[in-house]
A and B are shown apart, each in its own frame.
Chain A
Amino acid sequence: MNFKEVFKTTLNLVIICLCVGAMLALANQLTAGKIKENERKETKENRKVLIPTADKFVDMFKDDKYKLSDNSIKALEKGNVSALVEGLDKQGKSVGYVVESSKDGYSSKIKVMYSISPAPNFKVMGMLIKDSAETPGLGENIKKPNFKNQFKDKPLDDIVLGDPPKIKALTGATISSRAVTGAVHDSLKNLINTLKNRKSENKGAKKKTEYKVERKTSCDFSLFGSKAYAKVVKVDPELKKLLQADKYVKVIPGAYKAVRKGKFVGYVAKGFARGYNDTIMVGYATDTRLRVLKVRILRQNESPGYREQIGKADFLNQFKGKTLKTLVLKMSENKSNKYISAISGATVSSKAAVMAVRNSLKRLETVLKK
């Protein structure tokens, strides 16, 4: 390439880049104001929708006159409150707050915006999803009114997943529903604490009202001690089916050593975990080194169609050969056989099935090690 050619190609690109750059600058000039205005308008409209009675909104994070103390802003930001606005009516009386918060959902960060009534009730007045990119048709349904409107007039204690008057999760989208509920719950809890403290500070009251919230996790996978069940069943015939043996020796309640013709062949045990609707009971058999051989769902009361599928062979066969280390639920993106992948639309039930085996196996292992 001689000098002339280099010059020509360079000139070529320089000219086009200048032209395109100029064009973009012009387009930006024309649209930038509008884009910003749209965003502002959207926030404004959302606020108005959330608190229709308010005449004016003041930003409690940025507005110099109404700003909270730096410490409480920091505490709130840590407590999952990303923006806080107070709504005032014509007389300047507080009619509520608009709060923004977020939490990781199934495939995106879900940003929510909600309004609460002023002290002392702090009831949620309305909620909307500002931004989310969940699975269309499943998770994205959190934007639909039948889910959103459940938050109306709920006090903090009711903003957990559960049966009405609590928030009912969407079928097949429990993770997304839980993220929304969690975002509101966490931020509201912190906010109430801060606002109550502030009130007492302002009044100079001696008593500081401590607002304590009993935390209710809707689906916790805590150990469901099998002791309660162990008394009822000796060796469940269902368990016997998993691993044929002539003799079963009790190790701990609900777990038995299987002995066939005087030879130790493995363990059979039961595990429990809280599923979506009810406790799930699983039975499983392991070999002598605690590797899972077979898993069966012995009792469940999950919703038909979606969650009942945990009883199907496709799902249960994944447990084969797993040890305590690899008995982990992975989201469906992970296609490797090393871990167990959840049934889409039934993540909670799948998780419960895995946890049931896991919990029981863990207990068995600790006992055996001793």
Chain B
Amino acid sequence: MFGEMWKTFKNGLWEENAVFALALGLCPALAVTTSASNGLGMGIALLFVLAMSVLILSLVRHFIDERVRVPFFLAVIAGFVTITDMTMKAYFPPLAKSLGLYVPLIVVNCTVLGRVEVFASKTPPHKAFADGLGMGVGFTIALIVLGGIRELLGNGTIFNMPLLSLIPTYKPVLMMILPPGGFILVGLLMGAISMTKKAIMKSQIAKAKGVLRDDIVPPPELDEITHAELAQKPY
């Protein structure tokens, strides 16, 4: 059981990373990542909401009527989002201030709704929970990476600690903090990640065939595993 859970968890980190592979939840991912700490805060907020929502919804999945499932999901998600929002405001007021509107907007975040719809409503709780955690952690890492790079280049600091700005001649690339920088960076990272994935796939195929030639092209059906396909697989 734990092996299975670990596999599901890992899937969300790399293979199906919410931001870089599935391109889900890009709105908050781009909007709040002006600094690494904002990315971390937003990621943890989403992690909590996602893990709790998928756990609860997976537990009651037999009870939900197919026709009203979306309002049902939304009610649960909205509940957890509001709790997160209140907790943040009570215990981390500066973070709540800088994230602003984006925490309440997690309600309609497609990462959460997507995972609930395609995964949690069809799988037993332990697996759904592992998937929620994996997706959430993957999202958090993606946001920290995005926020870290943007903050470092655009402001010369990382987690508010001066790094590049220690170099007296360094001039911050302001654009990186502004929206265009976010788009450019997320595009470049997505490209780099799918290139790496392809390379890994190639070497695995080569290994399986017992040859070590890198001109082997992976067959198209192995190239992409979409989450729609994953959902159809019997677990």
Total count of chain B residues near the partner, CB < 8 A: 28
Is A16's CB under 8 angstroms from B154's CB?
no
Is A31's CB under 8 angstroms from B90's CB?
yes
Is B76's CB under 8 angstroms from A24's CB?
no
Sorting the interface of chain A by its residue count into under 10, 10 to 19, 20 to 34 or 35 or more gives: 20 to 34
Q: B196 contacts the other chain (Cβ, under 8 Å)?
A: no
Is A12's CB under 8 angstroms from B64's CB?
yes
Q: A69 contacts the other chain (Cβ, under 8 Å)?
A: no
* Chain A residues, Cβ within 8 Å of B65: 8-9, 12
> How far, in Å, is A29 (CB) from chain B's closest CB?
10
* Chain A residues, Cβ within 8 Å of B76: 16, 20
Main SS at interface, chain A: helix
Contact of B79 among A24, A133, A136, A138 (CB under 8 A): A24
Q: B178 contacts the other chain (Cβ, under 8 Å)?
A: yes
Is A38's CB under 8 angstroms from B100's CB?
no
* Chain B residues, Cβ within 8 Å of A137: 34, 154-155, 172, 174, 177-178
Q: Within residues 1 to 52 of chain A, which ones have a CB less than 8 A from any CB in chain B?
A: 8-9, 12-13, 16-17, 20, 23-24, 27-28, 30-32, 34-35, 38, 42
* Chain B residues, Cβ within 8 Å of A34: 90-91
Cross-chain pair count, CB within 8 angstroms: 61
Q: Using A8-B65, A13-B72 as known contacts, say yes or no to A20 and B79 having CB atoms under 8 A apart.
A: yes
* Chain B residues, Cβ within 8 Å of A136: 34, 177-178
> How far, in Å, is B208 (CB) from chain A's closest CB?
47
Contact of B87 among A13, A31, A133, A172 (CB under 8 A): A31
> How far, in Å, is B30 (CB) from chain A's closest CB?
12
Q: B78 contacts the other chain (Cβ, under 8 Å)?
A: yes
Q: Which residue of A lies closest to B93 (CB)?
A: A38
Complexed CA–CA distance, A38 and B90 (Å): 7
> Would you give 25 A-B contacts (Cβ < 8 Å), ordered by A?
A8-B65, A9-B65, A9-B67, A9-B68, A12-B64, A12-B72, A16-B75, A20-B75, A20-B76, A20-B78, A27-B83, A27-B86, A31-B87, A31-B89, A35-B89, A35-B90, A38-B89, A38-B93, A131-B97, A135-B178, A136-B34, A136-B177, A137-B34, A138-B174, A172-B174
Q: Which 8 residue pairs spanning A and B have beta carbons closest together?
A: A20-B79, A34-B90, A31-B90, A137-B177, A31-B86, A27-B83, A136-B34, A12-B65
B: residues with CB less than 8 A from A are: 34, 63-65, 67-68, 71-72, 75-76, 78-79, 82-83, 86-87, 89-91, 93, 97, 100, 154-155, 172, 174, 177-178
